[in-house]
Amino acid sequence: MAFGLGLTGRPTPWHQPPMPTFHFHIRVGGHLFEDPDGSDLPELGAARAEALAAVREAVAEQIKTGKAVGG
Give the model's pLDDT for residue 55: 87
Give the model's pLDDT for residue 59: 86
Q: What value does the mean pLDDT of the chain take?
A: 81
Give the 3-state secondary structure of residue 67.
Answer: coil
* C-alpha–C-alpha distance, residues 55 and 49, integer Å: 10
Give the 3-state secondary structure of residue 31.
Answer: strand
Quick: pLDDT tens for 24-46. 988 888 889 999 999 999 999 99
Give the 3-state secondary structure of residue 41.
Answer: coil
- Number of Cβ within 10 Å of residue 25's Cβ equals 15
* C-alpha–C-alpha distance, residues 18 and 55, integer Å: 27
Q: What is the pTM of this model?
A: 0.65
Give the model's pLDDT for residue 44: 92
Give the model's pLDDT for residue 53: 93
Contact (Cβ atoms closer than 8 angstroms) between residue 2 and residue 26: yes
